[in-house]
Amino acid sequence: MPPLRVGLIGSGGISRAHMDGFLNYRDEVELVAVCDIREEVAQAYAADAGVDPSAVYTDAAELLARDDVDAVDIATIHDQHASNTIQAARAGKHVLLEKPMACSVPEAREMVSACEDAGVTFMVAQMLRYLPHYQNVKRIIEAGELGDIWACRADSWFGAALPGSMSRDDWWGFDAQRNGGGSVMMVSTHQVDLLRYFVGNVVRVTAKTWGDHPLMRNGAEDRAVATFEFDSGAMGTLLSSYSARTPWYYQSLILGSKGTIYTEPKPEGNVVDQHHAPARIASEARETKLGHNGLNAFSEVGPDMEGLVSENPFTNEIVHFARCIRDGKVPITSGRDNLNTMEAVHGVYAAAKAGHTIEVSDL
């Protein structure tokens, strides 16, 4: 089977993390063209990825007109995601799109419809699901070791607005018009999607957001607290922040009738390295008594590499995308699955604005 031939649209910051897949899995996925509205950025990427300079574009329509492009990898700014995706689908290209899918729920639904109408595969790059440790948590939950899940929590603390952060003061992530929101949209989309992977779909949301930080623009929030009700009846909370005085920190905690599991980042390393930390579990099945008081102790579990080609989640996701197209399978982070992640995230904004609990089906 020939490799999936991919055109990259948006060759800025995170697209560099996609390059490992293009360079090291060439028999499955081949980068053939690069587009960015900033030509020098596209040229630099092409040079580093071994793409011919004649296949560099500043207009995505020209890249999409190439017959040798089977699929696109879109890593543009959020306010471009809907138009980029719909344009690619109409050109008959499969779509891998960086998170978050869209700046509104109606836009997200239109994108999924456009891809389904065109018969192309649509996958959202929710990279946390492609990490070996989180795959292991998913398998433990599916095996029933935690019993019935009744509660969960995600912490999502990304100090982008703190003095000395790597983010520039005029970063588009602080601008709700470009980002679609603030810290919840930019970062907590990851943790919300992970909770959904472990617990199920979100049906109701209650939330409060704060956007009084001086770097926030056009209504972006720098902090939020949300409560989610899942379709199973389980409840979950999210703490999200750009400005809390903590290190970068991401945690997910799942509580069931027979066990508890939580993931916690390593204190050192970059944002991806931090996720390579074992989850901790206490359960009936692997009861370990502490001698002095008989309480359960947490023990470390994971990672699980089954079905993954690499420890690098970005590499895993692009290979998964190529293999799903090759084998006619639905990606685990399909656009249709991701609709509920978008409903939950946009539900935070709708509930905060309304000042009461909202049903995501009303969005």
Ligand X SMILES: NC(=O)c1ccc[n+]([C@@H]2O[C@H](COP(=O)([O-])OP(=O)(O)OC[C@H]3O[C@@H](n4cnc5c(N)ncnc54)[C@H](O)[C@@H]3O)[C@@H](O)[C@H]2O)c1
- State the residues that interact with ligand X by CB under 6 A: 9-15, 35-38, 41, 60, 75-78, 80, 98-99, 127, 186
Report CA Rg, the chain. 20
Could you tell me the smallest distance in angstroms from the CB atom of residue 74 to ligand X?
A: 8
Please give the C-alpha separations between residue 11 and each of 4, 19, 202, in angstroms, as whole numbers.
19, 10, 33
Could you tell me the smallest distance in angstroms from the CB atom of residue 355 to ligand X?
A: 28
Residues 6 or more apart whose Cβ sits within 8 Å of residue 184 = 156, 192, 209, 221, 224, 226, 238, 240, 345, 348, 349
Residue nearer to ligand X on the CB measure, 99 or 346: 99
Number of Cβ within 10 Å of residue 298's Cβ equals: 14
Could you tell me the smallest distance in angstroms from the CB atom of residue 302 to ligand X?
A: 20
Q: What are phi and psi of 68, to 5 degrees?
A: -90, 10
Residue nearer to ligand X on the CB measure, 76 or 188: 76
C-alpha torsion angle, residues 80, 343, 154, 17 (rounded to 10): -30
Residue nearer to ligand X on the CB measure, 11 or 188: 11
Find the residue with minimal CB distance to ligand X. 12
Residue nearer to ligand X on the CB measure, 162 or 255: 162
Could you tell me the smallest distance in angstroms from the CB atom of residue 183 to ligand X?
A: 12
Residue nearer to ligand X on the CB measure, 60 or 352: 60
Residue nearer to ligand X on the CB measure, 186 or 238: 186
Number of Cβ within 10 Å of residue 139's Cβ equals: 14
For the chain, the straight-line distance linking the first and the last C-alpha, in angstroms and rounded, comes to 42
Could you tell me the smallest distance in angstroms from the CB atom of residue 112 to ligand X?
A: 17
- What is the bridge-based pairing of β-strands 56-57 and 29-35? parallel
Residue nearer to ligand X on the CB measure, 115 or 140: 115
Could you tell me the smallest distance in angstroms from the CB atom of residue 17 to ligand X?
A: 7
DSSP state of 296: B
Q: What are phi and psi of 349, to 5 degrees?
A: -70, -40
Residue nearer to ligand X on the CB measure, 75 or 162: 75
Q: Give the span between the Cα atoms of 314 and 127, in whole angstroms.
A: 6
Helix axes 335-354, 189-199, angle to 10 degrees: 110
Could you tell me the smallest distance in angstroms from the CB atom of residue 241 to ligand X?
A: 17
Two tokens, residue 187: 């970062």
Could you tell me the smallest distance in angstroms from the CB atom of residue 186 to ligand X?
A: 6
Q: How far is CA 119 from the centre of its chain?
A: 23
